[in-house]
Structure 1
């Protein structure tokens, strides 16, 4: 693999700074403290060649790049340096590795102050839809990577991702360790072109799985970074369906945060290159949901019809990220779409039907579906069954450690207040206010 520029070079370019402006910014950071820095361009070039700046100058560097001083971990120079100003690594020759490193660093350092704009994500989606995948780098040196080791990593990653929902709080750190290993293999290993594709595919799968764990915990910046990293690696692996799936996850997150214009923009780009019927089904379901939230009735119903058709066409050959899509998901998401469009009677029937169709292995999804069912009962002014569904969802979410599901119930609680004397409502409100035992938290 070709030499990758020093992280300080990449960080400076991402911040839009020339070498001269970086030096000026470092000197200004020192001056704000009543100090004088003797840094010049020659000194910065020494840092590029491996000389470590002292602790104070690392703080000055962070501020010159536009980042807060508390991002600095002086003992881990230059690994703490950000590679992007807006959280989105652009596509490029080495972008698959850059995006992985940025996601792993962001999660480790808890850079929750970083926000990724909808415009940046939409632009990335447009670039993905328009641009061909770059040729994979091939390392001419490095340690050979055995086929058997890649197979073990693939098998282990899928076993971890498929473990029982009750054990999900232990999984993200193990998955991140796997992803770090895969990233190092891509960067430093020597492998065949076919194994290079496998490594990038595995990196995309791991990134997507970790992103959902982080999203469920409400760590939206971390989730976005991992989905972006997965998108880069799906592109490197030339897997259009996987790329479309990662874009659909970013769109789902945008819709969750009520940014429906961004969600719709991303999904329209994703649909341009997806091919597998199961993938097209999921994309259209998510598009229907976000269009309904924008009260675009006819486009939303067209997307639902397309989703139903694609699910009927889908066979056993499905991408790994959407093997789970089923009649249960079609029913519930159709119900939610109709709920937003005002067809509450039919919506309630579909949501209830979908929850009943769901297999026991998908308890986290069951908790979300129960929350949707509670909302549909409230729309029909039926507080008793709404309270029963919400209570069941809350208890399930607390048992398995699913904060996203708990948040759905918490958002519904104000709607129960007018029914404070209805059967089951006082108990629900009491349970929601009760302290959760530490052992059940994630």
Structure 2
């Protein structure tokens, strides 16, 4: 692995008015676009393939390979869709990127659309973040005015239209096929696959769907070259990425580093856990990924390292919890989120998440009964892998892993409320810890 910190996507975040076109151009902005337009689309795809860039939205699928799946003989138009519906609990990388340097994404959109021969590109942004939507719309308008988007881009004969679309605030629309339904004006629900979006996606036409960070990484690859990009990271997880660090840490925030850095190194850069506390458990990629513990501090934060530990890198949302935190309470809060955000299409997800909440609430209140833990695990077994999308898998991943590592806390829920075992005031991150603080039910 190369240097601990590698600011590429975040290099200009602290610059004055970095979101303005002129300031972005002064730091080399849109030079990668000119380079790409001097190449054939196939050559651009080849460079991205050679770089080893993998999708930064969670699945980690090779980006260049995904682009190459677009059929060449389909008579319908090809579309590029950028998934900016960031809403995974603990994840905060795409929103600050679009807010601080929206032109990084816009330039990536133009290059990527050119590479897959798309004439239309859509950026689907979470509707609640109105300030981000407006910042992105302004950047797109500036790019149109400068000739980077529109008819005859930079005199090359290539035409491209870019649309910024604000979603309606549904977590399920982070799933790519539900996003497509929402973009078409329908209720956001996942589709049955096949056909896959690459063949029949938006408006039943070939569609490439990529995460914000994946597309925003493309200009740096064109500028620095595939070899430069692949020199960072690990053998199978190439390049740099943005980690979201939150929870009981001294300095939470976004940190850009090569893939393969460890949580121990990340915590050292962030000043460690809050004073006087130690790590109890953490998520490598948001609450949809199985939790890990202190024993996993030195595992590489890359796709293979997390898979080897029985978890996933996901969105690289590093939520860190110290020993004042109740695992039962945290798990309940996560499952309540998934119950609320279930689109209701699949019975195991819709009904199973409801029952998980009921049992976990009982355990949190110290009113559990014999067999509750086994019942939870049986429910999880009947929910995971039995739905149209991965929401159900994420909903049970945090539960099964919590029981795996902290079963005794769930067993204590048979007789003692969680707020008596671990008073909730002590785990808050918004107020100083006071001696003798007591907790209570919600």
Query: TM-score, normalized by length of structure 2?
Result: 0.29
Q: Which one has a larger percent helix, Structure 1 or Structure 2?
A: 1
Query: TM-score, normalized by length of structure 1?
Result: 0.29
Q: Which one has a larger percent strand, Structure 1 or Structure 2?
A: 2
Larger radius of gyration: 1
Greater RCO (Cα-Cα under 8 Å, separation 6 or more): 2
